[in-house]
Structure 1
């Protein structure tokens, strides 16, 4: 059976919408399997997400399926990509004003980027 593999797989802003940590790991494993030797997987996702009313500072329930702590997300990524060459690992703190509810809100997160290159066939 012919297996399709890719040089580059990018997951940007979607993995925080999987149903659980188990589902997160399963998606990462499928990404790894679909990557050819020398190929790169790049993951960009929001962690530690908060939604806050701008005027009052009241915390709102987040509508994100998988709201991992930054350290937990990195721990999972490092374990799943063990044996790969980690090319990038960075965190950027985001704060974005939004108007998606009845009151003005602010979306806050620690956005992480993790990129790794497959060194050998597995």
Structure 2
């Protein structure tokens, strides 16, 4: 199994077993960075893209917060995620759009987005070149003065329950040095409203064997000039 297949398998199974807002899972609450990004939006209707939206962990709180007449578009590769996103939105009484697309190919219409959200999703492409290309397409699709709210994991590894450390089975092994180089070049002219580093752990299982996926992350909220 390659990293791409593993990512799809994991999310397909996870969304099949767990509900939005379920305590004890990473679907329980939205990222606080996303909520703070909403405070930076202009008054009036806005257009927001949530890339790697899944079942609506961030898409739904965004839709509930933006003014009437706004567009909130969730983009995900998995049909199951898109289906559950629309179901969850209907149950919550908010309006969202669901787009099934591979982030490696998805292109935002030029200068249409007031906010682009990418939380634990942008690193799920095939290589470093594809990662940089995705960020460029996101920037091209963002209005002047628009925002990017990103959380990107890097230097990822896995720990077996026995304590054995092994390389993470992911699409490509993004390193901190590579991420810094791309961010510093592409966002050189942007205003960095927030920029923080941290670590994260997710308990997962493969072939019935539990393990922990661990790594560092960059959380960035930036405004386009």
For this structure pair, what is the TM-score category when the shorter chain's length is used for normalisation? 0.7 to 0.9
Residue 216 of structure 2 corresponds to residue 110 of structure 1: yes
Task: Name the CA shift for 1:99/1:39 in 2 (closer, same or farther; >3 Å).
Answer: same
- The partner residue of 2:189 within 70, 83, 105 is 83
Number of corresponding residues: 117
Give distance in 2, aligned partners of 1:96 and 1:29. 29
> Which residue matches 2:125?
18
More strand by share: 1
Contact 1:92–1:112 (8 Å) recurs in 2: yes
Q: 1:19-45 CA deviation, whole Å, 9 max, x = no partner?
A: 111111111111111111110112212
> How many angstroms apart in 1 are the aligned matches of 2:218 and 2:207?
26
Residue in structure 1 matched with residue 180 of structure 2 by the alignment: 74
- Structure 1 gap segments, 5+ residues each: none
Moved more, 102-111 or 56-65: 56-65
Distance in 2 of aligned mates of 1:10 and 1:110: 19
Distance 1:92 1:109, change over 3 A: same
TM-score by length of 2: 0.48
* Larger helix fraction of residues: 2
Q: Give RMSD over aligned pairs.
A: 1.8
How far did residue 102 of structure 1 move?
3.2
Classify the secondary structure of the residue corresponding to 1:17. Answer: coil
Note if contact 2:147-2:222 (Cα within 8 Å) is conserved in structure 1: yes
Structure 2: where are the runs of 5+ without partners?
1-108
Q: Which has the higher contact order (CA 8 A, sep 6+)?
A: 1
Q: Deviation of residue 17 (structure 1)?
A: 1.0
Contact 1:16 1:67 in 2 (8 A): no
